[in-house]
Structure 1
């Protein structure tokens, strides 16, 4: 009963005044700030500490980013009062723990969507997505290889595929981990291919470009962007590399149903580009890259992913040093900011 009374009191206190004068975006939060505002509950977990007490670990987000939240002395009733993906009003204070900014939450209450400005939390940029799709169509349309150009047009003519591609993320974390991130990553890689290929005439420029288009398309099925970006059942059981090869087979079947055979060797080369793009067996590639184009694709993929991830690490660093970030254990180093 005591837990129920605490929960009711918290909800009552929140409901009396829960609209801050100015909302602070996640990307602008800093150490030691008092916070009274709405977030989206991207994730929540009810955990038990070493003393047996329960607490809720949260991922709180808006369109600018995600911050971890800790609600101590919690219970099942509080945990079940809101769901993943809900808007929640939080009171608390920011602090740095192990070099990372987090929010110590003292009160939390579910908000109805009608009570919030949804645009503050929508990470998908529809206008940017349309611009990128237009550029993608131009890049596909500029291919000299007729079979590749027609195959690419079959992908883009699939409206279900196109709509899902626009909103897909490229990862759960690390790089391009936002709705629309996969499209951004793909087009950026294709643009790099356009710059690299003319410098190396031994490369098949069309094959390289189309490999960049294909390499991560399986992530459309591997990842879900409803609420928190997470793996689907198919993603965990099969993975985006196998899914990408399966998708390629479906589109080639559609190509051939239109009355023409797709070149068998070209199909093998495209399949190889997909299955080898991680570069190493220990990084998840079933095969090592053995074609000049697949070697190039791997390094372009790695370049774009690393630059995006490292830039994000610099931009979100909360350390006081003007020149260096905090040590980042995921990459094994600090980064130079200047």
Structure 2
């Protein structure tokens, strides 16, 4: 292992590398001749890179699993606009002498400050019953700890620890600022919906080591999990206040969660049917897309080109300009 760590963001086309990464995903695939090869997704705090290892066997790859730290030896190459590693050796290494922070991407913003911003906005809601419900979420220490550390996605937008909190706080600031422009949108409901819309991701994803989907996440998904969490906290707030929670308010909150993807094709079981729901959908999409565009440009290894490579996910190239 090299003395000075080579991070993903520093890798160059053509270099030989021997380094330790976190194995995010491991897939054995067969080529046209039915020979097995390894497709490994690896990560450190600066980014993700794929590794390919030819002519492997199930037995030889049984020693490594997603979530392991692995030492790899191989050659970096540029393929279809992205760097990858052609791996010649991969072995599991003990994590005892490794610094966990080398492998966990985190928000560049101060998480405790973001959390205070979030609490300030939610406790500023002037509908007393809705504010009481928000307080029930905020006093759940385990939930808020997970919420503070969760990414907003495994690979796409805000895919780093604290990413979900960063995404939600930015949406809250946007929602707050449009309040005067759109008086027909209930700002109280919209702020609560912003907080709740992705809250199910704390159970949809595992993010202690590699960012992966839990069984609950794969089978149910964060929209339905979010509705379950609302039901749980509504029952709690009714017990604490000894008053029934308004039925319509609960319905409107659940609708915000279930419709925020905006289209059936994108996984929403319901289309937005309230002013708050359509506002949340577009604010959410706006933040996610701008963030993804900016990261794609920032992370592009082709420094000489004015354009990024074609992105199948975005269905386009992105213009970087001459600088």
Length-normalised TM-score, structure 2: 0.93
> What is the CA–CA distance in structure 1 between the aligned matches of 2:23 and 2:265, rounded to whole Å?
34
Q: Which residue of 1 aligns with 2:293?
A: 310
Q: Which residue of 2 aligns with 1:8?
A: none
SS in 2 for 1:290: coil
User: Per-residue displacement from partner, 1:11-64 (whole Å, max 9, x unpaired)?
Assistant: xxxxxxxx2132121122221122111111112122222223222111111011
Checking the alignment, whether the CA contact within 8 Å between 1:198 and 1:205 is kept in structure 2 is: no
Q: Which residue of 2 aligns with 1:94?
A: 76
Q: For the structure 1 residues 304 and 207, does the alpha-carbon distance in structure 2 shift closer, same or farther, using more than 3 Å as the test?
A: same
Unmatched runs of 5 consecutive residues or more in structure 2: none
> What is the CA–CA distance in structure 2 between the aligned matches of 1:89 and 1:205, rounded to whole Å?
51
265, 279, 290: which one aligns with 2:273: 290
SS in 2 for 1:41: strand
Q: Which residue of 2 aligns with 1:20?
A: 2
Q: Which residue of 2 aligns with 1:185?
A: 167
The size of the alignment, in residue pairs, is: 320
Question: How big is the alpha-carbon RMSD for the aligned residues of Structure 1 and Structure 2?
Answer: 1.8
> What is the CA–CA distance in structure 1 between the aligned matches of 2:203 and 2:193, rounded to whole Å?
18
1:158 aligned onto 2:148: no
SS in 1 for 2:88: strand
> What is the CA–CA distance in structure 2 between the aligned matches of 1:21 and 1:237, rounded to whole Å?
43
Checking the alignment, whether the CA contact within 8 Å between 2:22 and 2:210 is kept in structure 1 is: no
> What is the CA–CA distance in structure 2 between the aligned matches of 1:320 and 1:133, rounded to whole Å?
36
**Structure 1 stretch 228-237 or stretch 274-283: which is displaced more?**
228-237
Q: For the structure 1 residues 281 and 83, does the alpha-carbon distance in structure 2 shift closer, same or farther, using more than 3 Å as the test?
A: closer
Report the alpha carbon displacement of residue 328 of structure 1 after superposing the two structures with TM.
0.9
1:51-70 residue pairs with structure 2 within 5 A? Answer: 51-70=33-52
Q: Which residue of 2 aligns with 1:273?
A: 256
**Structure 1 stretch 195-204 or stretch 270-279: which is displaced more?**
195-204
1:113 aligned onto 2:82: no
> What is the CA–CA distance in structure 2 between the aligned matches of 1:127 and 1:269, rounded to whole Å?
32
Report the alpha carbon displacement of residue 75 of structure 1 after superposing the two structures with TM.
2.2
SS in 2 for 1:295: helix
> What is the CA–CA distance in structure 2 between the aligned matches of 1:95 and 1:175, rounded to whole Å?
25
**Structure 1 stretch 215-224 or stretch 319-328: which is displaced more?**
319-328
As a proportion of its length, which structure holds more helix? Answer: 1
Q: Which residue of 1 aligns with 2:318?
A: 335
Unmatched runs of 5 consecutive residues or more in structure 1: 1-18
User: Per-residue displacement from partner, 1:216-240 (whole Å, max 9, x unpaired)?
Assistant: 1111111222433222222222221
**Structure 1 stretch 295-304 or stretch 229-238: which is displaced more?**
229-238
1:142 aligned onto 2:124: yes
